[in-house]
């Protein structure tokens, strides 16, 4: 079945409310959408929201790439060869994971719809369903507790708290949440490269009784070897995020005394499902657990991440709440939320459609 058209556009989408992380505050997001149409009328849908400060690619650049002659010459190719097509895309758009991910997701969706099988079932469902965490940005203690209560009342009980600006305030917020909810919740923190080793050590010691599940990217990129000064038990709870873009980084970090016991895989960083599965394949024999994350994204790419996450047996954690932040979306379907659990609908492809 041949590809007959590839169309892309960008949309600037407001967030329900601004949020702050260690190095920025966000109030909206630019998302690039892609359609791949087959000769029988099937349309595969993809979307991306690359973080320029992490991967060096902006949504505007992504759109320009998707409208390039290289992409348009893919028209006429057979969808059955989508993996070969993606190998060519990866080579041509090297170090441009947003462009890769847009095409990767749309190709997977079109292929799954054509075959009549969900992407997760195509690769084989080996884990899930799992609960996602919901993210609380950097804010004062009172606002942190208020937002936590709002999420808790909606059935969410895994909180990811953004940290990294002031370690003492970070400790206070975690301790207050633990005091209020105890074992009713699980907590994770994401420092977004905001700590030094001494501050990280201070944070770990002060919060060790709270049972934190993990600490995401505590030190800046390039400081990974400093983490080897921590004992192995502490490193097992550390998750690589900004340090982990692609399979080569995954391989470098999977050394004998690897600094991270968890890999946070984001389709926006690694170029989509094929890149994500390359990282997952390196992590498995190294005994590294998988943690699937996101930016502020459409249901489209969140669903794609969920499908590949459930195809990996060593998936332990989900942080796929990015579509919850959007004031609007352009598709419906994909997955359902039941008491915090993310459930794929197992429809062909990714199971979503334009609204």
| Phi, psi values for residue 237, rounded to 5° | -95, 5
Q: Any idea which fold 121-354 has?
A: TIM Barrel (3.20.20)
Separation CA 330–CA 183 (nearest Å):
37
Predicted confidence at residue 259, as pLDDT, reads 97
Look at residues 318, 336, 322, 351 and name the one whose alpha carbon lies nearest to residue 128: 318
* Domain positions in the chain: 3-116, 121-354
Residue linked to tokens 């967030």: 15
- Whether residue 129 has a cis bond before it, omega within 30° of 0: yes
Predicted confidence at residue 287, as pLDDT, reads 97
The answer to whether 3-116 and 121-354 have equal CATH topology is: no
Contact in structure between 334 and 88 (CB atoms under 8 Å): no
Predicted confidence at residue 234, as pLDDT, reads 97
Secondary structure letter of residue 288 according to DSSP: P
Look at residues 143, 134, 141 and name the one whose alpha carbon lies nearest to residue 172: 141
Q: Give me the DSSP letters along 229-276.
A: GS-HHHHTTEEESTT--SHHHHHHH-STT-S-SEEEE-HHHHTSHHHH
Which is it for strands 352-354 and 331-333: parallel, antiparallel or unpaired? antiparallel
Structure tokens at 57: 């690619």
Separation CA 277–CA 247 (nearest Å):
9
Instruction: Tally Cβ neighbours within 10 Å of residue 121.
Output: 16
Report the top-level CATH class of 3-116: alpha beta
Look at residues 303, 318, 344 and name the one whose alpha carbon lies nearest to residue 135: 318
Q: Residue-wise pLDDT tens for the chain (355 aa)?
A: 999 999 999 999 999 988 778 767 888 999 999 999 999 999 999 999 998 888 899 999 999 999 999 999 999 999 999 999 999 999 999 999 999 999 999 999 999 999 999 999 999 999 999 999 999 999 999 999 999 999 999 999 999 999 999 999 999 999 999 999 999 999 999 999 999 999 999 999 999 999 999 999 999 999 999 999 999 999 999 999 999 999 999 999 998 789 999 999 999 999 999 999 999 999 999 999 999 999 999 999 999 999 999 999 999 999 999 999 999 999 999 999 998 899 999 999 999 999 9
Predicted confidence at residue 315, as pLDDT, reads 98
Separation CA 242–CA 218 (nearest Å):
10
Q: Give me the DSSP letters along 9-63.
A: EEEEEEEEEEEEETTEEEEEEEEEEEEEEETTS-EEEEEE---HHHHS--HHHHH
Count Cβ atoms within 10 A of the Cβ of residue 328 and give its class: 0-12 exposed, 13-18 middle, 19 or more buried: exposed
């Amino acid at each position: 079945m041949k590809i007959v058209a590839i169309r892309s556009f960008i949309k600037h989408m407001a967030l329900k409310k601004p949020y702050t992380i260690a190095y920025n505050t966000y109030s909206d997001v630019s998302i690039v959408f892609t359609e791949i149409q087959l000769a029988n009328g099937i349309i595969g849908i993809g979307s991306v929201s690359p973080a320029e400060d992490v991967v060096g690619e902006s949504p505007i650049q992504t759109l320009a790439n998707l409208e390039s002659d290289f992409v348009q010459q893919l028209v006429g190719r057979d969808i059955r060869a989508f993996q070969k097509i993606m190998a060519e895309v990866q080579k041509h758009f090297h170090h441009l994971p947003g462009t890769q991910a847009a095409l990767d997701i749309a190709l997977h969706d079109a292929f799954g719809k054509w075959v009549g099988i969900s992407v997760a079932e195509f690769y084989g469902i080996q884990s899930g369903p799992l609960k996602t965490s919901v993210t609380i940005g950097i804010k004062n203690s009172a606002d942190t507790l208020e937002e936590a209560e709002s999420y808790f009342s909606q059935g969410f009980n895994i909180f990811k708290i953004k940290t990294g600006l002031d370690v003492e305030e970070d400790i206070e917020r975690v301790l207050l949440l633990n005091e209020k909810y105890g074992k009713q919740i699980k907590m994770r923190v994401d420092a977004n490269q905001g700590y030094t080793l001494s501050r990280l050590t201070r944070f770990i010691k002060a919060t060790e009784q709270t049972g934190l599940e993990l600490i995401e990217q505590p030190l800046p990129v390039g400081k990974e070897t400093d983490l080897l000064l921590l004992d192995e038990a502490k490193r097992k709870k550390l998750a690589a995020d900004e340090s982990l873009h692609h399979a080569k980084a995954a391989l470098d970090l999977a050394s004998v005394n690897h600094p991270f016991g968890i890999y946070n895989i984001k389709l926006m960083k690694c170029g989509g499902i094929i890149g994500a599965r390359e990282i997952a394949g390196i992590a498995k024999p190294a005994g590294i657990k998988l943690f699937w994350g996101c930016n502020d994204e459409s249901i489209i790419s969140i669903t794609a991440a969920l499908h590949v996450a459930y195809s990996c047996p060593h998936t332990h954690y989900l942080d796929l709440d990015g579509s919850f932040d959007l004031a609007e979306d352009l598709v419906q379907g994909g997955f359902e939320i039941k008491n915090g659990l993310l459930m794929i609908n197992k429809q062909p492809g990714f199971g979503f459609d334009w609204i």
